[in-house]
Structure 1
Amino acid sequence: MNSKKEDRELPAQSGRVADILDPNNQIGIRLRSLYAAVQEEVIPDRFLDLLEKLDHVERLATVQTGKE
């Protein structure tokens, strides 16, 4: 009776092991880790300044286009 329960658990356990060893799963784990690390990085001031300048130029273009 006990062996039947063990037989039912083995495929699930071996399935989990196969998932861990699957190269696609490994790539997914590493990509998620990299993405999480990038999310935590601080945005450099120089990049923020460039974005601010771009917003300013876009606002000016919108105003000039609206007046014409």
Structure 2
Amino acid sequence: MNSDKNEDRESVIDENLKKVFNETLEEGIPDRFKDLLSKLKQQESQSGSDNG
């Protein structure tokens, strides 16, 4: 009897986690993170060309 309540609770939690995860994916990457990533890539390419 108790296991039914636990399963219901778990399924509700699962559904909510999936909703939050999907919403986060849809938000995309903020511009400031894109800028940081591009700066890191530039640094990597500069240091990478020194090693070649």
Task: Specify the alignment match of 1:54 in structure 2.
Answer: 40
Structure 1: 4+ residue segments shifted above 6 A:
none
Task: Specify the alignment match of 2:19 in structure 1.
Answer: 33
Stretches of structure 2 lacking an aligned partner (at least 5 in a row) = none
SS at match of 1:43: coil
The one-letter amino acid of 2:24's match is: V
Q: TM-score, normalised by structure 2?
A: 0.73
Question: How do 1:1-68 residues align onto structure 2 when only pairs under 5 Å count?
Answer: 18=4, 22-66=8-52
The one-letter amino acid of 2:47's match is: A
- Give the C-alpha shift of residue 42 in structure 1: 3.6
- Give the C-alpha shift of residue 48 in structure 1: 0.5
Stretches of structure 1 lacking an aligned partner (at least 5 in a row) = 1-17
> In structure 2, what is the Cα distance between the partners aligned to 1:38 and 1:24?
21
> How high is the sequence identity, in percent, across the aligned residues?
35
SS at match of 2:37: helix
